[in-house]
Structures are given as C-alpha cells and as structure tokens.
C-alpha cells in the first residue's frame, strides 16, 4: 500500500514539472534584465601581476585557440561558445548548452 502512495506522489511531482518549463509560463519574466558574460580563466594570475599591468601588455590566458569559452548568465554557466570575427566585430557562437 505504501508503495502505491510513493509511486502516485512521484507521478504527481513529475507531471507538474514540465508545465513550469513551457515558454508561455515565462512570459511575465521575459523583460527582466540579466547579465551575460564570456569569461576566459587566467590561471596563476596574482595581485602582483594585476598591479604591474600597463597599456599594451599582453596577458597569456593559456586558453587554446578554438577552445570553447564558458557563457554565463547572472554568474551561472548556461553553455559554451566559440569566438568568431564578423566584419570588424568579435562575436560568440553558441556551441553547447549546459
């Protein structure tokens, strides 16, 4: 008897989750601002390195050309991108969703 109750509870929880993911349920939130960023980690960078920066310095990121860069929204990784140049602008192409 308890097994039936557990299964029916799981079905109830599972059946309501997809409704939250439907686009029409997000319409009230679509105009909220969010911060989007592409961040390239720089390993072994220190405060001394920061204080010694000057114009035209090049910072070695150890990031391989063509490697995917994390795409963050409000500080959370939502996917990965690769950089592209379109005309004279730097752009990011989404390659994978988290």
All structural domains of the chain, each given as residue ranges with its CATH number in brackets, are 2-97 (2.30.330.10)
% of the chain surpassing 70 pLDDT: 77
42-66: b or e for each residue (b if 16 or more CB lie within 10 Å)? eeeeeeeeeeeeeeeeeeeeeeeee
> What are the residue ranges of helices labelled H in the chain?
2-21, 47-51
Global pTM exceeds 0.75:
no
Question: pLDDT by residue (tens digit) across 34-66?
Answer: 999 998 888 888 999 999 999 999 998 888 888
Considering only CA atoms, which of 73, 90, 84, 1 is closest in space to residue 37? 73
């Amino acid at each position: 008897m308890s097994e039936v109750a557990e299964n029916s509870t799981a079905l109830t929880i599972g059946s309501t989750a997809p409704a939250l993911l439907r686009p029409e349920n997000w319409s009230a939130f679509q105009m909220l601002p969010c911060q989007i960023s592409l961040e390239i980690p720089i390993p072994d960078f220190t405060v001394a390195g920061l204080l010694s920066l000057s114009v035209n310095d090049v910072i070695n990121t150890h990031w391989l050309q063509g490697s995917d860069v994390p795409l963050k929204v409000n500080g959370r990784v939502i996917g990965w991108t690769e950089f592209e140049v379109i005309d004279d602008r730097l752009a990011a192409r989404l390659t994978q969703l988290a």
